[in-house]
Structure 1
Amino acid sequence: MTSPLPTPAAKGATWAVAARIFIPALWLGLIIGISFIEAPLKFTAPGITIPLGLGIGRRVFFAMNMVEVLFFIALLAGSIKRGVDKMWGWGVGAVGLLLLIKTVAIRPGLSARTDAVLAGSSESGSLWHYAYIGVEFFLFIALAALLVMATKRWVRITSR
């Protein structure tokens, strides 16, 4: 019976295995906590006005986006270190593309919309919000798929 522990040569890549499991899990938790729970509830809290909620949201989502970029870099590094099969490569590529769309295309539109609302020249709500929610949903699905793939691979390796 062989040990499920990595061989000395493979020990250097154990961080990469951990990254392939823990980064998607942590990222999913971030999306659930911020996008799916905090953001909708923020505007129902007593005393939170639209300008105050938008100001808080702007800071929270900027910080979240920076963490997501770091998560993606770590996920990419772990993928390169560990080796990439076709499905994993497509999954990481999809996550990267969705993060790029969210960061480069949608967040600037949301920021301009927030500026307009805060200046009083527009009402709240826009298509940018729906685009963000849609991209966030697909990012959630892609990260969940990566987590399932990584966990299945880990279970398969450790059960040998």
Structure 2
Amino acid sequence: MMLIKTTHAPRWARAAMLFIPAVWLGLIIGISFLEAPLKFTAPGITIPLGLGIGRRVFLAMNIVEAALGVFLLIALITLWRNHRYQELPNFNKMRFWSLVALVLLLIKTVVIRPLLAVHTDRVLAGTFEGGSSTHYYYIGVEVLLVIVLVALMIVAMRGLLPPTADVAGVVPHEKTAADE
């Protein structure tokens, strides 16, 4: 399997368009979809204890996501600068899905997470029993982010690999009158 060669697009930036979404996707699946729900099923975990652990885990996760987002943006800008000189296949789709992922990350960390912090503060203080709809917004953004990251990986792969070539020595079947 050979990558499409472009003179000006650095290999690290092209690789980053696959690597970063894959790592980010694994982080979301591992933390949001596995660790978070399972934590509350462990023996001896109370709601306040689970929320305290969750706050630390999601803070760490959001820091890593922010770093991944910055690296993705750097790779995207690098590819964009080079795309002006030599077209990189699927670049516009890579740019679109990258920007959607970054906007979702911003919404999640700047809007939803602070709202969740208010709710968890109230639960930890004993003034609120929990169960806010804000958690559903967070989960919804996570699901959208998973879809967007998968789409980004698909378009990046299509942009980095050459189109499917004919198998050596096999001529594609030409349509004849008998085929119609």
| TM-score normalised according to structure 2 size | 0.80
Structure showing greater radius of gyration is 2
Q: 2:24 aligns with which of 23, 27, 40?
A: 27
> C-alpha separation between the residues in 2 aligned to 1:90 and 1:5?
20
Written as runs of structure 1 = structure 2, the 5 A alignment for 1:127-138 is: 127-138=133-144
- Structure 1 residues 157 and 63, CA gap change in structure 2 (3 angstroms): farther
Query: CA offsets per residue over residues 6-39 of structure 1, 9 Å max, x none?
Result: 57x55x7111011100000000000000000000
> C-alpha separation between the residues in 1 aligned to 2:161 and 2:98?
20
Secondary structure in 1 aligned to 2:131? coil
5+ residue gaps, structure 1: none
The letter of the residue matching 2:147 is: I
User: Would you say 1:145 and 2:151 are equivalent positions?
Assistant: yes
Shift of 1:158: 10
5+ residue gaps, structure 2: 84-90, 166-180
Identity of aligned residues (%): 55
> C-alpha separation between the residues in 1 aligned to 2:5 and 2:93?
24
Shift of 1:86: 2.4
Shift of 1:4: 5.2
Contact 1:17 1:78 in 2 (8 A): yes
Shift of 1:137: 0.6
Contact 1:43 1:53 in 2 (8 A): yes
The letter of the residue matching 2:57 is: V
Aligned length: 155
- Structure 1 residues 4 and 142, CA gap change in structure 2 (3 angstroms): closer
The letter of the residue matching 1:113 is: H
State the partner residue of 1:125. Answer: 131
| TM-score normalised according to structure 1 size | 0.89
Q: Which has the higher helix share?
A: 1
> C-alpha separation between the residues in 2 aligned to 1:138 and 1:4?
29
Secondary structure in 2 aligned to 1:156? coil
Contact 1:4 1:158 in 2 (8 A): no
State the partner residue of 1:50. Answer: 47
The letter of the residue matching 1:19 is: A
> C-alpha separation between the residues in 2 aligned to 1:153 and 1:17?
9
> C-alpha separation between the residues in 2 aligned to 1:37 and 1:115?
23
- Structure 1 residues 117 and 31, CA gap change in structure 2 (3 angstroms): same
State the partner residue of 1:70. Answer: 67
The structure 1 segments of at least 4 consecutive aligned residues displaced by more than 3 Å after TM superposition are 3-7
